[in-house]
Amino acid sequence: MPNHRHIDSRAAGRQLLTGHRELRAQLSSLRAALTGLDGAGGVAAVRAAGADPSLAEQLRTRCLEYCLGLHHHHTMEDGAFGIFEERIPEIAPVIERLREEHRQVAAGLDRLRKLLDSDDGQDVTWLREELERTVSGIEDHFVYEETYLLPALGVTASDRPS
């Protein structure tokens, strides 16, 4: 078993940024898919035009994939937080806030998943509204993490991936 006490803080910070970039790209793709549905008059209109009848299921799958990816990302972060607190005790309040935000984000994604599971896909307006509310919370979390955790890990603007 590797000794996680030797974790490279800067490498962990750069990995965090890479994860955020990938998760943001997935959210952008999901939003684009919903925009396509709105432009087509919703799932019912797309089906009436002869498109894939499983479009609502595809949206559920995309949301589920995103939820799983974000859960994995946060699980990895939570595992490193204890090490960061030991090395940089002054960031303990930041870490505690991030842990709480991880719980809030998970609850928001769970609400979104439940809404997807309970809907027949006939109207995407409610889905877009809930997704935007959830995405706003996720983006606020990413920005806080990037603003307060990364500098403590020694990650600077020049370390950030393009």
pLDDT at residue 125 greater than cutoff 50: yes
Q: Which among 153, 114, 122 is positioned nearest to 42, based on CA atoms? A: 122
Cβ-contact 42, 122 below 8 angstroms:
yes
Non-local (6+) Cβ contacts of 49 within 8 A are 40
Please name the helix (run of DSSP H) or strand (run of DSSP E) that holds residue 106, with its range, or none.
helix 92-118
In a domain, residue 3? The reply is: no
Cβ-contact 66, 26 below 8 angstroms:
yes
The predicted model gives 110-116 an average pLDDT of: 78
CATH number, domain at 102? Answer: 1.20.120
Domain count, the chain: 1
Alpha-carbon dihedral angle through residues 15, 17, 22, 24, given to the nearest 10 degrees:
160
pLDDT single digits (tens) 49-87: 444 545 566 667 777 788 888 888 888 888 889 889 998
pLDDT at residue 95 greater than cutoff 60: yes
- Tell me how crowded residue 77 is: count the other CB atoms within 10 A of its CB: 20
Show the tokens assigned to 118: 């309970």
In a domain, residue 1? The reply is: no
Between these two residues, 114 and 150, which has the higher pLDDT value? Answer: 150
Domain hosting 102: range is 9-159
pLDDT single digits (tens) 6-52: 468 888 889 889 989 998 988 888 777 777 665 555 445 444 544 45
In a domain, residue 92? The reply is: yes
In a domain, residue 2? The reply is: no
Q: What is the pLDDT of residue 124?
A: 64
pLDDT at residue 91 greater than cutoff 60: yes
